[in-house]
Amino acid sequence: AQSVAQPEDQVNVAEGNPLTVKCTYSVSGNPYLFWYVQYPNRGLQFLLKYITGDNLVKGSYGFEAEFNKSQTSFHLKKPSALVSDSALYFCAVRDGEGTDKLIFGTGTRLQVFP
Amino acid sequence: ETGVTQTPRHLVMGMTNKKSLKCEQHLGHNAMYWYKQSAKKPLELMFVYSLEERVENNSVPSRFSPECPNSSHLFLHLHTLQPEDSALYLCASSQDAGGAAAPLHFGNGTRLTVT
């Protein structure tokens, strides 16, 4: 069965510093991987996805993610954090071929301090 | 402004009540989803509709009953719920549910409290 793990419940970073939110995955076959963000009192918003090609995927709001097959990881990164990036971040993987059903992680709360 | 609108935003209901959650998408998508979000748990997919046909039902209790009258509207009918059903219910839509990895577009959710 496909799964993703987000090992950190919360990540704290100072504004202007680089940030990393971790995600590891377990899939059979080729992974389709996603990052979503949830701001307070809102639904989830799509940030980026990896299907194939370049291991470094660029997404919305200056975020990027690095696909690492050998480490089965798909960490979300941003070179310089903003206070407005504070939110809940979800990693997800497609649950098999021929479906758009996603398996989500438990989420990581990112807190950016001024 | 999200292209997926959910009403109501908040709902408090007793265990014997019957209520419905409504979702409307203005994006021209052909697939719609219900997710349940509980604290400290991964999002749980409840139902998927593609072209108005239910294609996924993840062992959801029968006290939750979905309805998709057309590709723009999705309902979740609730009856005799339990306190553990209290959660944020999220509706989402996408273009195609056939594995093309189209991004999901979520509404802002209905916060349900069962007393």
Please write the tens of the pLDDT for every residue from B19-57. 999 999 999 999 999 999 998 788 999 999 987 777 777
**Interface residues on A facing B, Cβ-Cβ cutoff 8 A:** 32, 34, 36, 41-46, 49, 51, 90, 94, 97-107
- The residue among B57 and A65 whose pLDDT is bigger is A65
Evaluated on CA atoms A48, A50, A52, A54, the torsion sign reads positive
Q: Do B99 and A41 make contact, defined as CB atoms within 8 angstroms?
A: no
The whole-chain average pLDDT of chain B stands at 90
Predicted confidence at residue B54, as pLDDT, reads 77
Contact A44 B56 (CB under 8 A): no
Mean pLDDT of A95-107: 84
- Report pLDDT for B2: 61
CB pairs under 8 A between A and B: 65
Asked if residue B98 has pLDDT above 70, the reply is no
Tell me if residue A84 falls in helix, strand or coil: helix
- For the cut 90, the answer to whether the pLDDT of residue A46 exceeds it is yes
> Distance (Å) from the C-alpha of residue B7 to the closest C-alpha of chain A?
13
Contact between A64 and A75 (Cβ < 8 Å) = no
Task: Tell me what pLDDT residue B100 has.
Answer: 65
User: Helix, strand, or coil here: A32?
Assistant: coil
